[in-house]
């Protein structure tokens, strides 16, 4: 069963070795286990549903609570400290495109706001109901998961938008194909959610981000359906698909999506390469991507992230790697690059040889297959660490941007520093570190993780988080980076959007949303503050 106030399956635990706990204690100070409020505490404050009855509408307290929050840190604080105060008034579970349209009509007649809900894995407040006079209908896509069509000649698959990562891949794999879209939230996030948030999978370098994969589909808007026809390329004016990508539920409900698929690769390997410094690793990563070596993933951790990774794993292979690195003279600045090679056996073999030679020129040391294999094994298990950390008293959050290569060394340094300074001002410590998670010819994303102690008072904890988030967001703005490379805008990034899109740009978006949704009932308050 899915955890209601944490990440993932209740039966999956990510154990931390005692040495990892000692390390966190040493870096952050004494830790106290985090709270775990019972469901009953929140159900007790839940008012009666304001929605009129409707066939299939679930207005039970538990269902409303289970759809009240996503996976952001403020969401976790609300759930774990028992502070959830806004809930949907009911949840509809359509089983067909027609039922989606009917639910939209019903909601409009009831004067309700509508929140499209995929997997609920948003980390920026996308699916949270806001306090409002209007009732709120959450529209769950959980029953719309079928593969509708697979055009093997064109290598285009059409799926209902509520399909999760595992279900999508399972259906494609039985025909010998893959989408290759693997966000870390793969286990629960959905195709509709990926499109609506402009998501990026871990192997986007090889397969493309969702905007390169999404080629058409259907959006049920309050004014009727918007059909995005399939054309391999088009000069018929601005591309409306780009309006749907990143629309965060504001235009309507994506009911099905067409996506580019590829035959399953013959071979795939993950490798770990250590560099003496971040600068050297970055130069190697840049040369790999600009030299167009067919690599499907490059992920370079800074020195602190490398240290934390090795310490938290604590396994015997990590000890051997540490010894090896000391033996070859790599000091505390060593950085880990994880890369993936995907394709035909011959191509993987050739690329491996080329990339090994290239990395060596920058001091790269291939650590053997264990590091890459370990990364691959844990790629979707890592989010479970959030549960374990919370249980011992540590909160963890992440944020991300993308900047050109010329600004990358500075970005990877100053964003974690801004977070540290925000906590220093409060007399608290934080472990803030970064990695380049997605690389492009002209730049890369900087993905920052920060770990800090829980506090018995949720207001204090929330204020600390807000101070760090704000400091990091302002620093991103000063760097000219985007406020989000992959997580979207939702609630948490909305205050920073104007600086990126300009007042005119925001006005244009507002007008577009009004065209499709004149009464402003689609996910109000998200992406654009009203
Ligand atoms: C542990 C963890 C790891 C993550 N890793 C990544 C990562 O590697 N890459 C990445 O890109 N993101 C990542 N995310 C963020 C999140 O998974 C993505 O934003 C994802 O795309 C959300 O999909 P979802 O189906 O869960 O959408 P939801 O959270 O349910 O919704 C997100 C937004 O999309 C809208 N929406 C959802 N479905 C539809 C639809 N059918 N029609 C219209 N609008 C819709 C919602 O209204 C909402 O505004 C991660 C999140 C977590 C918790």
Same domain, 234 and 271: no
Most confidently predicted of 15-24, 147-156, 320-329: 147-156
Tell me: do 229 and 278 sit in the same domain.
no
Q: 221 is written with which tokens?
A: 């808007």
Give the pLDDT confidence score for residue 397 in this predicted structure.
98
pLDDT of residue 324: 87
pLDDT value for 76 = 98
Structural domain total, the chain: 4
Sequence-distant (6+) residues with CB within 8 A of 226 are: 218, 219, 240, 244, 251, 252, 516
- Of 140, 163, 179, the one marking the end of a domain is 140
Report pLDDT for 367. 86
Whether residue 81 is predicted with pLDDT greater than 80 in this model: the reply is: yes
> Ligand 1 centroid vs 424 CA: distance in angstroms?
32
Domain match, 273 and 259 both: no
Ligand 1, atom 37, residue with closest C-alpha: 193
Q: H or E segment at 265?
A: none
pLDDT digits (tens, 9 = 90+) for 293-303: 999 999 999 99
* Same-domain check for residues 259 and 286: no
Q: Tell me the CATH number at 477.
A: 3.30.300.330
How many CA within 13 A on the CB side of residue 216? 12
Question: For residue 451, which phi and psi values (nearest 5 degrees)?
Answer: -115, 135
Q: Which of 336, 359, 378 is the last residue of a domain?
A: 378
The arithmetic mean of pLDDT across residues 24-42, rounded, is: 95
CA 193, CA 526: separation in Å to the nearest integer? 14
Cα of 186 vs centre of ligand 1, distance in Å, is 10
Residues 259 and 285 in one domain: no
Contact assessment for residue 169 and residue 183, using Cβ atoms and an 8 Å cutoff: no
Q: What is the mean pLDDT of residues 95-101?
A: 97
Say if residue 392's pLDDT is above 80.
yes
Query: Within this chain, do residues 165 and 87 fall inside the same structural domain, yes or no?
Result: no
CA distance 98 to 370: 50
CA gyration radius, the chain = 23
**Partners of 297 in beta bridges:** 340
Q: The domain spanning residue 253 has which CATH number?
A: 3.30.465.10
Is residue 2 in a domain? Answer: no
CATH at residue 83 = 3.30.43.10
Say which CATH number the domain at 365 has.
3.30.70.3450
Output the six-digit token pair for 238.
Answer: 């601005």
Q: What is the pLDDT of residue 275?
A: 97
Handedness of CA 192, 89, 491, 399 (dihedral sign): negative
Give the CA count within 13 Å in the CB-facing half-sphere of 201: 27
Whether 328 and 360 have beta carbons less than 8 Å apart is answered as no
Residues 275 and 259 in one domain: no
How would residue 323 be classed by pLDDT, with cut points 50, 70 and 90? confident
Residues framing ligand 1 (Cβ under 6 A) = 7, 70-71, 115-123, 126-127, 141, 161, 183-185, 189-190, 192-194, 196-197, 199-200, 248-249, 253-254, 383, 486-488, 523, 526
At 314 the pLDDT is: 73
The 3-class secondary structure across 402-419, one letter per residue, is EEEHHHHHHHHHHHHHHH
Burial (CB count <10 Å: 0-12, 13-18, 19+), residue 359: buried
> Contact 216/164 with Cβ under 8 angstroms?
no
| Same domain as 175, residue 112 | no
The pLDDT tens digits for 170-227 are 999 999 999 999 999 999 999 999 999 999 999 999 999 999 999 999 999 999 999 9
336-355 pLDDT per residue, tens: 999 999 999 999 999 999 99
Q: How far is the CA of 94 from the centre of ligand 1 (A)?
A: 19
pLDDT band for position 264 (cuts 50, 70, 90): very high
Whether 51 and 120 map to the same domain: the answer is yes
Query: What is the largest distance, in Å, between two alpha-carbon atoms of the chain?
Result: 71
- pLDDT at residue 316 above 80? no
For ligand 1, pick from 93, 143, 193 the residue to mutate: most ligand atoms within 8 Å of CB: 193
pLDDT at 308: 95
- What is the DSSP track for 362-395? TT-EE--HHHHHHHHHHTTTTTHHHHHHHHHTEE
CA–chain centroid gap for 334, Å, is 27
Q: Which of 234, 263, 292 is the last residue of a domain?
A: 263
Q: Which atom of ligand 1 is nearest to the CA of 251?
A: 43
Q: For residue 356, tell me if it sits in a domain.
A: yes
Instruction: Calculate mean pLDDT across residues 6-16.
Output: 96
Q: Which domain holds residue 60?
A: 36-140
Centroid of ligand 1 to alpha carbon of 122 (angstroms): 5
The confidence band for 313, taking pLDDT boundaries of 50, 70 and 90, is confident
Same-domain check for residues 283 and 373: yes
Residue 8 neighbours by CB under 8 Å, 6+ apart:
2, 187, 188, 383, 384, 387
Shared domain for 362 and 396, answered yes or no, is no
Residues 351 and 392 in one domain: no
Q: What is the mean pLDDT of the chain?
A: 96
Give the Å distances, CA to CA, from 474 to 81, 116, 401, 415: 28, 30, 12, 9
Over the stretch 165-180, which tens digit does the pLDDT of each residue have? 999 999 999 999 999 9
Number of C-beta neighbours around residue 103 at 10 A: 24
3-state secondary structure 478-506: HHCCCCCCCCCCCCCCHHHHHHHHHHHHH
CA of 192 to the centre of ligand 1 (A): 8
pLDDT digits (tens, 9 = 90+) for 120-131: 999 999 999 999
Has residue 272 been placed in a domain? yes
> pLDDT value at position 318?
79
Tell me whether residue 517 is in a domain. no
- Does pTM top 0.75 for this prediction? yes
């Amino acid at each position: 069963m899915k955890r209601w106030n944490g990440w993932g399956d209740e039966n999956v635990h990510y154990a931390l070795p005692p040495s990892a706990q000692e390390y966190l204690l040493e870096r952050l100070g004494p830790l106290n286990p985090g709270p775990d409020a019972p469901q009953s505490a929140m159900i007790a404050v839940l008012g009666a549903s304001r929605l009129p009855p409707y066939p299939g509408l679930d207005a039970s307290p538990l269902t409303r609570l289970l759809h009240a929050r996503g996976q952001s840190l403020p969401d976790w604080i609300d759930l774990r400290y028992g502070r959830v105060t806004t809930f949907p008034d009911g949840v509809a579970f359509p089983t067909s495109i027609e039922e989606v349209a009917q639910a939209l009509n019903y909601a409009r007649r009831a004067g309700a706001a509508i929140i499209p809900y995929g997997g609920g894995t948003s980390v920026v407040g996308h699916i949270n109901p806001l306090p409002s006079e209007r009732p709120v209908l959450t529209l769950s896509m959980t029953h719309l998961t079928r593969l509708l069509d697979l055009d093997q000649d064109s290598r285009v698959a059409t799926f209902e938008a509520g399909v999760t990562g595992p279900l999508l891949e399972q259906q494609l794999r039985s025909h010998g194909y893959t989408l290759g879209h693997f966000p870390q939230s793969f286990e629960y996030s959905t195709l509709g959610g990926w499109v609506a948030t402009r998501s990026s999978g871990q192997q986007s370098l090889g397969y493309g981000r969702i905007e390169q994969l999404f080629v058409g589909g259907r959006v049920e808007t309050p004014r009727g359906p918007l059909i995005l026809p399939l054309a391999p390329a088009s000069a018929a004016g601005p591309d409306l698909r780009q309006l749907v990508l990143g629309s965060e539920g504001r235009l309507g409900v994506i009911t099905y999506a067409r996506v580019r698929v590829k035959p399953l690769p013959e071979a795939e390997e993950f490798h770990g390469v250590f560099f003496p410094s971040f600068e050297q690793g970055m130069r190697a990563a840049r040369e790999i991507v600009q030299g167009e070596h067919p690599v499907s993933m490059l992920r370079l951790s800074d020195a602190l992230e490398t240290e934390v990774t090795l310490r938290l794993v604590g396994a015997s292979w990590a000890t051997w790697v540490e010894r090896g690195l000391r033996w070859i003279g790599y000091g505390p600045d060593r950085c880990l690059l994880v890369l993936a090679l995907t394709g035909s056996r011959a191509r993987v073999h050739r690329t491996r040889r080329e990339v090994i030679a290239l990395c060596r020129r920058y001091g790269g040391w291939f650590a053997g297959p264990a590091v890459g294999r370990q990364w691959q094994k844990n790629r979707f298990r890592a989010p479970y660490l959030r549960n374990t950390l919370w249980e011992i008293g540590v909160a963890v959050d992440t944020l991300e941007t993308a900047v050109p290569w010329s600004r990358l060394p500075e970005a990877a340094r100053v964003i974690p520093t801004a977070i540290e300074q925000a906590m220093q001002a409060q007399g608290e410590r934080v472990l803030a570190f970064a990695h380049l998670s997605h690389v492009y010819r002209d730049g890369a994303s900087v993905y920052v993780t920060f770990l800090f102690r829980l506090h018995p008072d949720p207001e204090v904890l929330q204020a600390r988080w807000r101070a760090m988030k704000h400091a990091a967001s302002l620093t991103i703005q000063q760097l000219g980076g985007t406020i989000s490379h992959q997580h979207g805008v939702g609630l948490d990034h909305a205050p920073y959007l104007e600086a990126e899109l300009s007042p005119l740009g925001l006005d244009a978006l507002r007008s577009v949303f009004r065209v499709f949704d004149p009464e402003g009932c689609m996910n109000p308050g998200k992406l654009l503050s009203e």
